[in-house]
């Protein structure tokens, strides 16, 4: 009887370890550090409570203006900054541009009541990783934060295609810092393979399946790619790759 109980405990422990391993592959084991930037204290308070209810998320600072957001990012280097567009002083677009200039590794997730295309184009041009309307539910926001941390895109597919097409052919000068080395010269063949599939909007799990890799390995390749390209998100990496001719618009369509 004792052996039976012991065997059952061992089996339960093994199942738990397997489950934890699967979750780790999908979400990573580290805590995602988040900055909240919104001029409404009530919005910040509600968002903070929502985020801090999750064991893998942590709010490291709040900002009520673009200037406060820029200073907080410079000081704390969060993984993700959740940014509103309309704030006193420097707005979300200019704050995003300044943050990406000083701290390229911080990804900007825009949470706003505005969804006009000119705003979205300006935000992506400034370096935003993704966009959500403020009418999203709590679960969608939490999953979006995790997705950006995994190197995945947070844009509706139809909107993403439309904006990437427009941005990739945009003739105006960019205010983003110029990458000193052409990324195509420093990416490994496997990193380039992952980037091509990422450009199609595929989640990490599907990229891993197609390349016969683990999800953790795909995440690692994306992280290395972002570092080499001096960006903080998939959206930025794909846009830069399009502009530098590393990939074409045709590469953003999935043929499977």
Per-residue pLDDT tens digits for 85-128:
888 888 889 999 999 998 999 999 998 887 777 778 788 888 89
Amino acid 167: pLDDT: 61
To 10 degrees, what angle do helices 189-199 and 215-229 make?
100
- Residue pair 205/26 in contact (Cβ under 8 Å)? The answer is yes
Amino acid 122: pLDDT: 82
pLDDT (mean) for 21-45: 77
Amino acid 144: pLDDT: 93
Q: Where in the chain is CATH 3.40.50.2300?
A: 30-149
pLDDT (mean) for 13-30: 44
- Residue pair 38/66 in contact (Cβ under 8 Å)? The answer is no
Residue 171: pLDDT band (50, 70, 90) is: very low
pLDDT (mean) for 57-76: 96
Question: How many contiguous H segments (helices) and E segments (strands) does the chain have?
Answer: 11, 5
Q: Taking 70 as the threshold, does the pLDDT of residue 11 lie above it?
A: no
- Better-scored residue on pLDDT, 116 or 233: 233
CA distance 150 to 28: 8
Amino acid 29: pLDDT: 66
Per-residue pLDDT tens digits for 133-160:
888 899 999 999 999 998 888 876 656 6
- What dotted CATH number matches 30-149? 3.40.50.2300
Beta-carbon contacts of residue 123 (< 8 Å; ≥ 6 apart): 85, 92, 93, 96, 108, 110, 131
Kindly report the number of other CB atoms within 10 A of residue 200's CB atom: 18
Query: Could you tell me the pTM of the whole model?
Result: 0.70
Q: Where in the chain is CATH 1.10.10.10?
A: 183-252
Whether CATH 3.30.70.1280 fits 183-252: no
Q: For residue 214, give both structure tokens.
A: 């683990």
Give the burial class of 10: count Cβ atoms within 10 A of its Cβ; 0-12 exposed, 13-18 middle, 19 or more buried.
exposed
Q: Taking 50 as the threshold, does the pLDDT of residue 172 lie above it?
A: no
For 203: left if phi > 0, alpha if psi spans -120 to 50, otherwise beta; the answer is: beta
């Amino acid at each position: 009887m004792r052996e039976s109980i012991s065997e059952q405990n061992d089996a339960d422990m093994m199942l738990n370890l397997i489950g934890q391993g699967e979750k780790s592959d999908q979400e990573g084991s580290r805590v995602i550090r988040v900055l909240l930037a919104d001029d409404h204290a009530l919005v910040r308070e509600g968002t903070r409570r929502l985020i801090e209810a999750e064991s893998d998320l942590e709010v490291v600072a709040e900002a009520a203006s673009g200037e406060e957001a820029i200073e907080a990012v410079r000081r704390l280097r969060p993984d993700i900054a959740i940014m509103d567009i309309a704030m006193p002083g420097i707005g979300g677009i200019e704050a995003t541009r300044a943050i990406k200039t000083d701290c390229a590794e911080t990804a900007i997730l825009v949470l706003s009541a505005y969804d006009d295309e000119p705003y979205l184009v300006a935000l992506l041009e400034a370096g935003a990783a993704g966009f959500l309307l403020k009418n999203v539910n709590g679960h969608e926001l939490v999953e979006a934060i995790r997705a950006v941390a995994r190197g995945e895109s947070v844009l509706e597919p139809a909107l993403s295609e439309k904006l990437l097409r427009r941005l990739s052919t945009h003739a105006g000068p960019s205010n983003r810092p110029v990458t000193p080395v052409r990324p195509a010269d420093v990416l490994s063949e496997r990193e380039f393979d992952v980037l091509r599939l990422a450009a199609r909007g595929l989640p990490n799990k599907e990229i891993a399946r197609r390349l016969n890799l683990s999800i953790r390995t795909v995440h690692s390749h994306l992280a290395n790619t972002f570092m080499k390209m001096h960006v903080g998100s998939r959206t930025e990496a794909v846009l830069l790759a399009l502009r530098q001719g590393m990939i074409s618009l045709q590469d953003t369509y999935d043929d499977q």
